[in-house]
């Protein structure tokens, strides 16, 4: 017998600690959406167990073999709900110029009318979960609070793994702390007698942000950043608006603590587009003896001048939502160790033994696989068994490389900022910006070959400034200006971090990757640290300082290959600058003059 939502037994919480403004909003949304009942969550283990039981009964979750993967589950989404839908993601600012040309804009009044029409009775037959959460350590001056409403138990459970869900958040709001409203519905109401599906969603999808109101509405999707609103929607799009106003940065960046053989530690923040190796970098096991990399975060960083004037950072999340395909003992042993249990997998394949599998986990696919769509896998079909954007959700506490400082309410001092992307040509293995403003130009002109994490043609090169193109909540030109202003601030309060650019993905004439990557990326980190310490000279080029050499000891990589990795092809750079200028031109009058000046100076250096 299928357990319906009305039969679940999550206990109702008392109303004592519920802030009036939150309660009024929840009551308003409940009146609009008509759920069968309302459940206030506080992140307890009993809540998680009840959510899991509900989804096992409805078929949303399949329990994995507890002997192989204890307390872990597999979810299969609808085939139409497998990735971020950038084309349905909107910034609804009062002035369309405040959203800018890189965002989809709609009039906020018209969008609210549309969304309220869609939300009307959208939760009929379902449970409305109220999920209070903190982004960052509770009580940290760098943290923010929010409340998400959702009718998806999958989302409610995932939020427990991804952010700090706690009833204490409501007490903090009641004491006067500001908070962000996050509304989410899968858009699949149930009438009496309807049989629910395992993954309810709607073909009509909206992920809409209201920056003036600090509010998010999501409708129709239950997948990833479309529905886990504290992640990209809050932590980047809305937080970037807050950050600009308050004088800090909300960035699509990993954070790592690097310790040299001498025992000195450094914090690196690195921006990479999705599915370009952020999680692998964040959990790197260096191949160089004596080096250690510890994880602070793999996806999002909030950077703010601290009381000491130095740029400090926190990871506002409390979990990983990582791309599974390509993750293996060879590429990311720490992640594989982390996924031993207590994990939700989405759209992976299922083995005959009741465990998960995805392309890249092993060289050969095992026999007897069930695909992410629940069908027997035909190896001869050429179709992957797992979806290319299959994911895992797991708490940060399970990461074997987690740094002790990851939860420091004061944040960690940032020593260097790294920008990267997936480029098969043009961009060298590593270079250092000439100064902060030149580094901002490098970040503003980052381009990467598109991956499976977003809509579009795989391999297509697109500009992705600061890896923030899909995630910025306001005009990109104003964002560049804010970065430049942060440099001015940091030059007064403390020395700005040095800025570098990396590219692990250059290919040779046969289309093969030249650089081994993964743990050998520690060789690039060694060079970056040596530059921070002033231990190595560098070669001046048109695009910045590049290595005279890199530590290749123990690598089967010759000097010719190294030269290919570090090559600066003037013709290729010139073409890339032309493409960058075309993109920057779309920002019109909001593009800071300094970015144009940096472009012209790069061209001048190229002609010397």
Categorize the per-residue pLDDT at 92 as very low, low, confident or very high, splitting at 50, 70 and 90.
Answer: very high
Domains belonging to the chain, first-starting first, are 5-60+85-247 (3.40.449.10), 250-318+404-606 (3.90.228.20)
Burial (0-12, 13-18, 19+ Cβ within 10 Å), 297 = buried
Please give the pLDDT value at position 461. Answer: 81
The arithmetic mean of pLDDT across residues 372-379, rounded, is 96
Phi/psi at 430 (5° precision)? -155, 145
- DSSP sequence for 190-255: --TTPPPPSS---SS-EEEEETTTTEEEEES--SHHHH-TIIIIIIIIIHHHHHHHHT-EEESEEE
Percent of the chain with pLDDT over 90: 91
Helices marked H in 69-216: 96-99, 108-119, 153-162, 168-174
Q: What is the pLDDT of residues 379-389, one digit of tens each?
A: 989 899 999 99
Residue 3 pLDDT > 90 = no
Burial (0-12, 13-18, 19+ Cβ within 10 Å), 220 = buried
Residue 294 pLDDT > 90 = yes
Please give the pLDDT value at position 289. Answer: 96
Residue 125 pLDDT > 80 = yes
Q: What is the pLDDT of residues 20-71, one digit of tens each?
A: 999 999 999 999 999 999 999 999 999 999 999 999 999 999 999 999 999 9
Please give the pLDDT value at position 273. Answer: 85
Residue 9 pLDDT > 60 = no
The arithmetic mean of pLDDT across residues 400-419, rounded, is 97
Residue 2 pLDDT > 60 = no
The arithmetic mean of pLDDT across residues 13-19, rounded, is 65
Please give the pLDDT value at position 451. Answer: 56
The number of beta carbons lying within 10 Å of the beta carbon of residue 113 is 11
Residue 1 pLDDT > 50 = no
Residue 543 pLDDT > 70 = yes
Q: Is 607 noted as a catalytic residue in this protein?
A: no
Q: What is the pLDDT of residues 322-368, one digit of tens each?
A: 999 999 999 999 999 999 999 999 999 999 999 999 999 999 999 99
Task: List Cα–Cα distances, 210 to 59, 151, 219, 220, 549, in angstroms.
Answer: 35, 21, 14, 18, 49
Give the residue from 470, 471, 499, 494 showing the smallest Cα distance to 483. 499
The arithmetic mean of pLDDT across residues 243-260, rounded, is 98
Sheet holding 311-314, edge to edge: 249-251, 301-305, 311-314, 412-413
Q: Which residue has the tokens 């962000």?
A: 180
Burial (0-12, 13-18, 19+ Cβ within 10 Å), 36 = middle
Phi/psi at 139 (5° precision)? 90, -5
What residues are paired with 302 via a beta bridge?
A: 250, 314
Categorize the per-residue pLDDT at 370 as very low, low, confident or very high, splitting at 50, 70 and 90.
Answer: very high
Q: Catalytic one among 41, 201, 276, 399?
A: 276
Q: What is the pLDDT of residues 447-490, one digit of tens each?
A: 988 655 555 555 578 899 999 999 999 999 999 999 999 999 99
Which has more confidence, 513 or 1? Answer: 513
Q: Which two tokens stand for residue 321?
A: 């939502």
The arithmetic mean of pLDDT across residues 156-176, rounded, is 96
Which has more confidence, 4 or 211? Answer: 211
The arithmetic mean of pLDDT across residues 151-171, rounded, is 97
Pairing of strands 301-305, 249-251: antiparallel
Output DSSP code: residue 11: P
Q: CA-CA distance, 592 to 565, in Å (whole number)?
A: 32
Residue 276 pLDDT > 90 = no
The arithmetic mean of pLDDT across residues 217-239, rounded, is 97
Residue 5 pLDDT > 60 = no
Residue 179 pLDDT > 80 = yes
Average pLDDT, the chain: 94
Q: CA-CA distance, 176 to 186, in Å (whole number)?
A: 31
Burial (0-12, 13-18, 19+ Cβ within 10 Å), 560 = exposed
Give SS3 for 530: helix
């Amino acid at each position: 017998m299928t357990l319906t939502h009305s039969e679940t037994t999550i206990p109702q919480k008392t109303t004592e600690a519920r802030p009036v403004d939150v309660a009024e909003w929840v009551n308003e949304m409940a009146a609009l959406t008509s759920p069968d009942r309302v459940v206030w969550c506080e992140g307890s283990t009993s809540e998680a167990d009840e959510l899991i039981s509900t989804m096992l009964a409805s078929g949303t979750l399949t329990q994995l073999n507890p002997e192989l993967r204890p307390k872990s589950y597999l979810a299969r989404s609808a085939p139409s709900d497998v990735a971020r839908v950038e084309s349905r993601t909107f910034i609804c600012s009062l002035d369309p110029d405040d959203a800018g040309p890189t965002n989809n804009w709609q009039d906020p009044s018209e969008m609210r009318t549309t969304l309220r029409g869609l939300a009307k009775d959208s939760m009929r037959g379902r449970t409305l979960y109220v999920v209070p959460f903190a982004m960052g350590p509770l009580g940290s001056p760098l943290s923010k609070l929010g409340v998400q409403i959702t009718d998806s138990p999958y989302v409610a459970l995932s939020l427990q793994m991804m952010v700090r869900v706690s009833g204490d958040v409501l007490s903090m709001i009641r004491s006067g702390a500001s908070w962000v409203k996050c509304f989410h519905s899968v858009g699949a109401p149930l009438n009496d007698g309807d049989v629910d599906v395992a993954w309810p969603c709607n073909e009509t999808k909206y992920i809409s942000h209201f920056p003036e109101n600090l509010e998010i509405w999501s409708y129709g999707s239950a997948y990833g950043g479309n529905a886990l609103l504290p992640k990209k929607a809050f932590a980047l799009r809305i937080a970037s608006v807050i950050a600009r106003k308050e004088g800090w940065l909300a960035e699509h960046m990993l954070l790592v603590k690097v310790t040299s053989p001498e025992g000195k530690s450094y914090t690196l923040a690195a921006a990479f587009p999705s599915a370009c190796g952020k999680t692998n970098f964040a959990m790197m096991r260096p191949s160089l003896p004596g080096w250690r990399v510890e994880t602070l975060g793999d996806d999002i960083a909030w950077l703010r001048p601290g009381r000491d004037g130095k740029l400090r950072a926190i990871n506002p999340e409390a979990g990983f939502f990582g791309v599974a395909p390509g993750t293996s003992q060879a590429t990311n042993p720490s992640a594989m160790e982390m996924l031993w249990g207590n994990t939700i997998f989405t759209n992976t394949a299922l083995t005959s033994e009741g465990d998960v599998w995805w392309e890249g986990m092993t060289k050969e696919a095992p026999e007897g696989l069930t695909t992410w769509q629940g069908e027997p896998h035909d190896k001869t079909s050429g179709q992957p068994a797992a979806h290319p954007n299959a994911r895992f959700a797991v708490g940060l506490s399970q990461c074997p490389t987690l740094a002790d400082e990851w939860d420091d309410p004061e944040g960690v001092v940032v020593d260097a900022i790294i920008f990267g992307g997936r480029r098969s040509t043009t961009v060298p293995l590593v270079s250092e910006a000439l100064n902060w403003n030149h580094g901002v130009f490098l970040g503003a002109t980052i381009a990467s070959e598109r991956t499976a994490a977003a809509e579009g043609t795989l391999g297509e090169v697109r500009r992705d400034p600061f890896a923030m193109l899909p995630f910025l909540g306001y005009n990109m030109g104003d964002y560049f200006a804010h970065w430049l202003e942060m440099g001015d601030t940091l030059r007064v309060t403390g020395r700005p971090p040095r800025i570098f650019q990396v590219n692990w993905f250059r290919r040779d004439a046969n289309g093969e990757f030249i650089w081994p990557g993964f743990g050998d990326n520690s060789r690039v980190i060694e060079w970056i640290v040596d530059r921070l310490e002033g231990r190595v000279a560098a070669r001046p080029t048109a695009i910045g300082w590049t290595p005279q050499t890199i530590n290749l000891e123990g690598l089967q990589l010759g000097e010719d290959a190294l030269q290919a990795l570090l090559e600066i092809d003037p013709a290729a750079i010139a073409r890339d600058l032309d493409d960058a200028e075309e993109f920057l031109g779309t920002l019109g009058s909001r593009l800071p003059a300094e970015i144009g000046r940096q472009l012209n100076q790069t061209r001048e250096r190229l002609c010397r």
